[in-house]
Amino acid sequence: MKRLSIFLAVSLVVLLSFEGFSHNIILPSEVASKKATIEKNLMVGLTSENEGLMMSAAYFLGEYQCECAVIPLMKLLHDSDNEKVRITAALSLAKIGTEKSLYAVKQNIIFDHSEAVRKLCRQFYTAAKLQKQIALEHAD
């Protein structure tokens, strides 16, 4: 559990540091014009045997809210033996936020064999549902 907490803390610091520099590397308009290529490359990354690459690809598929990645991310969530991979897949599914992706995260709250994964899935699911509710309230 301690290793998982340290991993998550380090990952958060690294991700936040990347966000601060990302606008200097790729402009949003350039990302939008290359979205199909980015999605295709990230989908290839999901099938990698390198867990770091796989987790990175899964994370960014969630950041870009790629609905085409829902089924492969669900497969990772259900089939991976690595807790970190399952947590990353659950986070990305929650960020994508479709009914199917949120249902997969919700089911993992009940059925995952790891307490840490179940706990984080609960947090991801709750946050995604709250975000959807807020978006609906602001749309009215």
pLDDT digit string, tens, across residues 52-108: 999 999 999 999 999 999 999 999 999 999 999 999 999 999 999 999 999 999 999
Say if residues 45 and 53 touch (Cβ distance below 8 Å).
yes
Q: How many CB atoms lie within 10 A of CB 63?
A: 16
Considering only residues 19 and 65, tell me which one the structure prediction assigns the higher pLDDT. 65
| Mean pLDDT of the region 22-30 | 55
Beta carbons of 73 and 101 less than 8 angstroms apart: yes
Task: For residue 13, name the pLDDT band (cuts at 50, 70, 90).
Answer: very low
Higher pLDDT, 119 or 13: 119
* Average pLDDT along the chain: 85
Residue 78 CA: distances (Å) to CA of 20, 22, 34, 37, 89: 32, 31, 30, 27, 9
Query: What does each C-alpha distance from 128 to 12, 96, 132, 136 come to in angstroms?
Result: 18, 9, 6, 12
The CATH code that applies to domain 2-139 is 1.25.10.10
107 vs 20, higher pLDDT: 107
Q: Which two tokens stand for residue 3?
A: 């290793």
The helices-and-strands tally (H runs, E runs) of the chain is 8, 0
